[in-house]
Amino acid sequence: MFGHMHNVIGSKEAAVILGVDRNTLNRWAAKGDIPIAYKVEGETGSRLFNRSDIERIAKERAEARTREGHPELGFDDAKQPA
């Protein structure tokens, strides 16, 4: 099931990579803005993310901030990640 577990990270690490609060990351994930690799069963189950997805989104956000001059650019402020 988790053959590539070394590429899967928790919400705390994903939030750090993205430079956002965990609540923001979880809100984006719940809305479908960030792909979830796996969600632990239950109403409050932890979300796990593919490191490559998170790093790609972080890079896209950094490029958008540079291009558009928005230091705190988020999904509410710009185009959704591809």
- Residue 51 corresponds to which amino acid? R
pLDDT tens track, the chain, 82 positions: 455 566 999 999 999 999 999 999 999 998 999 999 998 888 778 899 999 999 999 999 888 877 766 555 455 544 444 4
Coil/strand/helix, residue 8: strand
C-alpha span between 47 and 62 (Å, rounded): 23
Beta partners for 39?
47
CATH top class, domain 5-68:
mainly alpha
**Is 0.85 topped by the overall pTM?**
no
Domain layout of the chain by residue ranges: 5-68
- Residue 46 corresponds to which amino acid? S
C-alpha span between 35 and 75 (Å, rounded): 13
- DSSP annotation of 80: P
